[in-house]
Structure 1
């Protein structure tokens, strides 16, 4: 076999893709993710090879090559020529590393929950910065984007530890949702921890307070089982909406947030509670 440390241009990638015969179907979402990484300068040659068989057919690397074409970027890649066609069945059978695995390898405790929380924060920030409900309820950050969120918010691990305790006290809710809501509210007010801790304890909350309804929403979601990503997003928006309504001194009988109809809530600061228009 012949190994080449290649400078992969769109033209070179197109030539290799011409031999992409009999491969698995192209995953367009994965290609778009790789395109984003390349355009943001996150791409690195990690020695994972593009493989070309002795029959001239592309055996592995179609998504990476298509991303080069679609992005128009030139990136480093390792290409190996002369792979036995029979070796095709052994390619990509290993278990992929999850985001949680990557964080654990960097020494973070509970990498799985930290990865889920960082992804929720990333989706939320993306959605409120000119995005839509879809941006909030779908999508996965690249490893570099996830690490950037964690670097920007080193307190996330502490929030998650609190959220796990709060979840047990409430009897429901997602640690990632609780930790994200606490983070966003703390960006608005230093009193956020005290407020949400009271919610977790069920203490100092008037019976007609939106925060009591937020607590009940967490319990109801536990009774209904696991939360899908869109359901987690709706629940987080309910918590933020409850925070804002509580701050404005409103009382409600029902806590509802309608995706795609209502704007995505932003945790308001105390000085904004009076002036903000619902």
Structure 2
């Protein structure tokens, strides 16, 4: 059908659910330029609504129609099952981070891929270094975030530590989220303050040792390629700090596996019945 700018505006205003992903300016502006130049072509990718009349797919295309002020012919499909939302892969792939309407959503989603795998919230799909699930589904990631609200609450500390010292954000966030459920949770604030300031600390203070290690190897440890190593270094430093111990050297060793966060030995992996009770975000 022909979708006019006015029609696109009405659908975006009244039919677009709040939980839809965050719009990408780059994407809809690119679409709008193509429409304004008359280069947009009708394909199988169009607009989809669920059985309640809510928009499932196509908000970027509708935004582009509104922006370009050009009427465009598109396929419009009503009465789609709501369950199809998580597996849609339209012109601009729907990512979990785009569905989280929270600050620091990118690092929260990345951390959820790690913590969900650590606690066996889903079957392994594609692991990086036996540690990070590179292809966890959108639903899996959203469930992990719902199960671990500490990821959202502590993300600002992970972001501030990265800005101050280059500490890898997702892996740091996973360590902090686990620590928040242990008897050492009250030490998190001082831990973060030391990482951020780097001032007035003993040379063997675990926070200063960790800062220095990331400053030295920031290029590797601050990237996804050094994700498991960075996690183990952070966990070792946190474990020493939580117990009030000094730390002489800090190394990540081949074959050492994933270092457990102190206090989490009391945790049990989430069971299927636990996950089924968690509402998605």
> When the two structures are superposed, what TM-score results if normalisation uses the length of structure 1?
0.53
User: Counterparts in 2 of 1:158-177, with a 5 A limit?
Assistant: 158-170=153-165, 172-177=166-171
Measured after TM superposition, the shift of residue 213 of structure 1 is 1.5
Q: Report the counterpart of residue 114 of structure 2 in structure 1.
A: 120
Measured after TM superposition, the shift of residue 252 of structure 1 is 4.2
* Residue 100 (structure 1) aligned to one of 87, 97, 100: 97
SS of the equivalent of 2:172 reads: helix
Closer, same or farther: CA 124–112 of 1 in aligned 2, 3 Å:
same
* Residue 202 (structure 2) aligned to one of 195, 200, 206: 206
Q: Report the counterpart of residue 70 of structure 2 in structure 1.
A: none
Is the 2:157–2:192 contact (alpha carbons within 8 Å) kept by the matching residues of 1? no
Closer, same or farther: CA 195–271 of 1 in aligned 2, 3 Å:
farther
Is the 1:210–1:242 contact (alpha carbons within 8 Å) kept by the matching residues of 2? yes
RMSD: 3.7
SS of the equivalent of 2:203 reads: coil
Is the 1:199–1:215 contact (alpha carbons within 8 Å) kept by the matching residues of 2? yes
Is the 2:162–2:169 contact (alpha carbons within 8 Å) kept by the matching residues of 1? yes
- Give the aligned length: 178
* Residue 155 (structure 1) aligned to one of 128, 150, 156: 150
Closer, same or farther: CA 271–136 of 1 in aligned 2, 3 Å:
closer
Q: Distance in 2 between matches of 1:195 and 1:138?
A: 28
Structure 2: tracts of 5 or more residues without a match: 1-55, 58-82, 267-281
Closer, same or farther: CA 126–219 of 1 in aligned 2, 3 Å:
farther
Tell me whether 1:255 sits opposite 2:238 in the alignment.
Answer: no
Q: Distance in 1 between matches of 2:233 and 2:117?
A: 16
> When the two structures are superposed, what TM-score results if normalisation uses the length of structure 2?
0.52
Q: Report the counterpart of residue 269 of structure 1 in structure 2.
A: 263
Measured after TM superposition, the shift of residue 185 of structure 1 is 1.9
Q: Distance in 1 between matches of 2:128 and 2:206?
A: 23
User: Counterparts in 2 of 1:1-20, with a 5 A limit?
Assistant: none
Measured after TM superposition, the shift of residue 150 of structure 1 is 1.0
Closer, same or farther: CA 204–264 of 1 in aligned 2, 3 Å:
farther
Tell me whether 1:146 sits opposite 2:141 in the alignment.
Answer: yes
Q: Distance in 1 between matches of 2:112 and 2:265?
A: 28
* Residue 213 (structure 2) aligned to one of 201, 214, 217: 217
Measured after TM superposition, the shift of residue 266 of structure 1 is 1.2
User: Counterparts in 2 of 1:233-244, with a 5 A limit?
Assistant: 233-244=228-239
Closer, same or farther: CA 184–155 of 1 in aligned 2, 3 Å:
closer
SS of the equivalent of 1:141 reads: coil
Is the 1:214–1:242 contact (alpha carbons within 8 Å) kept by the matching residues of 2? yes
Q: Distance in 1 between matches of 2:189 and 2:158?
A: 11
Is the 1:210–1:243 contact (alpha carbons within 8 Å) kept by the matching residues of 2? yes
SS of the equivalent of 2:258 reads: coil
Is the 1:137–1:230 contact (alpha carbons within 8 Å) kept by the matching residues of 2? no
Q: Distance in 2 between matches of 1:271 and 1:125?
A: 12
